[in-house]
Structure 1
Amino acid sequence: MTMKEKLAACTKEGKALLAVNFYNFETLKGLLLAAKQTGSSLILQLSESSLQYLGLKPAISMAKVMLDEFGVEGWVHLDHGSSIEIIKQCLDAGFDSVMIDASEKPFDENVRITKEVVKTARQYNANVEAELGYIAKLNQSHTFEPTSADDAKRFAEATGIDALAIAIGNAHGFYKETPALHIDRLKEIRAAVNCALVLHGSSGIPDEQLKEAIHCGIGKINLATETKNTFIKKLQSLLPGSDEIDLRKIFPKAIDEVKELIVKKLHVINS
């Protein structure tokens, strides 16, 4: 089943897929151990900075091989693609899904760029995600500027996207205070569009809010900050005062921390 088909099925059935960024072999292994343990499908996400770090071909090859090795139903997705050029490179390399993020541009320009990506991706039968509204990125103000249902409808119809990331009180990175998702706005958007809806910035959103968001129409939940934070914090707790130089003995403990985090997230989402 393609990712596009899976997301459409989730939208129809009121379910959601967890989409998690990985940064190296260790975080990838933690994600797949969790998916295998829970019998869950999983979207593996790579940002442009991760592709620069790992290399595009090594990153996609590692993800595809590991999905097969662990027997997990999953897909590889480009998170926050900034240009048509990088999206074309990812599609040529075998990505199942791509996101074009032109959300900080004027509405009409966002439509134009996204529409071109959709046209390109159709040649690969790949899923296309875009973003509409203000979802604060790292070091940006957490000012709430929600996506309007009317704009979402116009945008989805004009571009033909498969999935739309929306602003309903969520933000990328760490929250300074407990977020409160605007579920009424989510319901309005869900009633206005047919495409899958995506919640970015799930790190720090309470479990009950995530469940309610899924119940009210979110079909894809993105997780990144909490994953890398969990991995690094575990390493930081292990290394001080240790004389161990064999990373093969240190890293597995951090992998297990990532696995346990994702197991908990999958239980929340699958419930």
Structure 2
Amino acid sequence: MKIKDKLKELTAQKVGLLATNYYNLETLHGVLKAAQATSSPLILQLTQSSIDYMGLEAAVALGREGLKQFHVEGWIHLDHGGSVELVQRCLDAGFDSVMIDGSELPFEENVKLTQEVVKRAVSYGAHVEAELGYVAKLGQSHLHDGFTQPAEAKRFVEETGVDALAISIGTAHGFYKEKPKLQIDLLQAIAQEVQERATLVLHGSSGVPDDQLIAAINHGICKINLATEIKNIFMKTLQNILAQNDEIDLRKVFPKATNAVVELVKQKLTIVNN
């Protein structure tokens, strides 16, 4: 099934679709084992940093082979694409979905950039995600007041023809210094304006309380991005193991960190599948 059709189907059912970033073989296997154990579909996400680290062709091949190996229904998605050139490389490499992030640009420039990506994606049959509003990235202030506005969301979706829209309703990338409070009323208003045309996406789910994630899904969000918690639990587990022994065989050490990712993602999948 095409990712666009899956997202529409799950939105109607008020079920979330987890989108997990992977950074190497171990984190990839961690998220896929969790999806297999819970019989859940999964979006596998790559950022430019991960592409630069692993190499584009190798990263895609790992993802495709992993989906087959673990018998998981899934798709490969470019997360936070920062340029048309990167998007084009990913389309040529066979990505199912690409995100162009012009959220820090003025509205009209974001529209123009997204229109170009949507136009390019058509011949590939690829799904396109964009972002509107201020969702703080790593190192940026969480206090910035830039929630997505319903009227602007409607106009953006209509003018770009984008398939999915990441919105700002109170989340941020990275960990939170204090408990986030999602603006569910705002989400409902946005959903009323755009849900017939585009799927709604929540970035920055790491650290968002379970009840708020469930409320977001029940009121219009479908795609839920998870990245920071995956990196964190893998590395913290690895650091703890290495601090306690002198083992040099990574084949003995890495599986324990991978298993920690499995348990984390299984918990998240239970929440979004609620």
Superposition TM-score, scaled by structure 2 size: 0.98
2-structure distance, mates of 1:261, 1:94: 29
CA drift of 1:245 comes to 0.5
2-structure distance, mates of 1:106, 1:251: 44
Residue 80 (str. 1) matches residue 80 (str. 2)? yes
State the SS of the aligned residue for 1:252.
helix
Residue 225 (str. 1) matches residue 232 (str. 2)? no
State the SS of the aligned residue for 1:227.
helix
1:204-243 pair list within 5 angstroms: 204-243=207-246
Where do 5+ consecutive residues of structure 2 fail to align?
none
Give the structure 1 partner of residue 93 of structure 2.
Answer: 93
1-structure distance, mates of 2:124, 2:13: 26
Residue 268 (str. 1) matches residue 271 (str. 2)? yes
State the SS of the aligned residue for 1:171.
coil
Whichever residue aligns with residue 20 of structure 1, its letter is T
CA drift of 1:97 comes to 0.2
Whichever residue aligns with residue 257 of structure 2, its letter is A
Give the structure 2 partner of residue 164 of structure 1.
Answer: 165
State the SS of the aligned residue for 1:71.
coil
CA drift of 1:12 comes to 2.3
Give the structure 2 partner of residue 112 of structure 1.
Answer: 112
State the SS of the aligned residue for 2:44.
strand
State the SS of the aligned residue for 2:243.
coil
Give the structure 2 partner of residue 196 of structure 1.
Answer: 199
Whichever residue aligns with residue 177 of structure 2, its letter is K
Give the structure 2 partner of residue 127 of structure 1.
Answer: 127
CA drift of 1:241 comes to 3.7
CA drift of 1:197 comes to 0.2
CA drift of 1:137 comes to 0.4
2-structure distance, mates of 1:56, 1:225: 21
State the SS of the aligned residue for 1:12.
helix
1-structure distance, mates of 2:77, 2:158: 23
Superposition TM-score, scaled by structure 1 size: 0.99
Residue 251 (str. 1) matches residue 254 (str. 2)? yes
Whichever residue aligns with residue 174 of structure 1, its letter is F
State the SS of the aligned residue for 1:76.
strand
Whichever residue aligns with residue 184 of structure 1, its letter is D
CA drift of 1:123 comes to 0.8
Displaced runs of 4+ in structure 1, greater than 3 A? Answer: none
1:35-46 pair list within 5 angstroms: 35-46=35-46
CA drift of 1:8 comes to 1.5
1-structure distance, mates of 2:92, 2:210: 37
Give the structure 1 partner of residue 8 of structure 2.
Answer: 8
CA drift of 1:69 comes to 0.8
1:52-67 pair list within 5 angstroms: 52-67=52-67
CA drift of 1:179 comes to 0.2
1-structure distance, mates of 2:44, 2:244: 34
CA drift of 1:13 comes to 2.2
Count of aligned residue pairs for this structure pair? 271
2-structure distance, mates of 1:235, 1:216: 37
Q: Deviations over 1:120-141 (max 9, x none)?
A: 0011111100000000000101
Give the structure 1 partner of residue 68 of structure 2.
Answer: 68
CA drift of 1:14 comes to 1.8
State the SS of the aligned residue for 1:239.
helix
CA drift of 1:261 comes to 0.1
State the SS of the aligned residue for 2:61.
helix
Residue range with higher mean Cα deviation, 123-132 or 9-18: 9-18
Q: Deviations over 1:130-155 (max 9, x none)?
A: 00000000010112321000000000
CA drift of 1:171 comes to 0.4
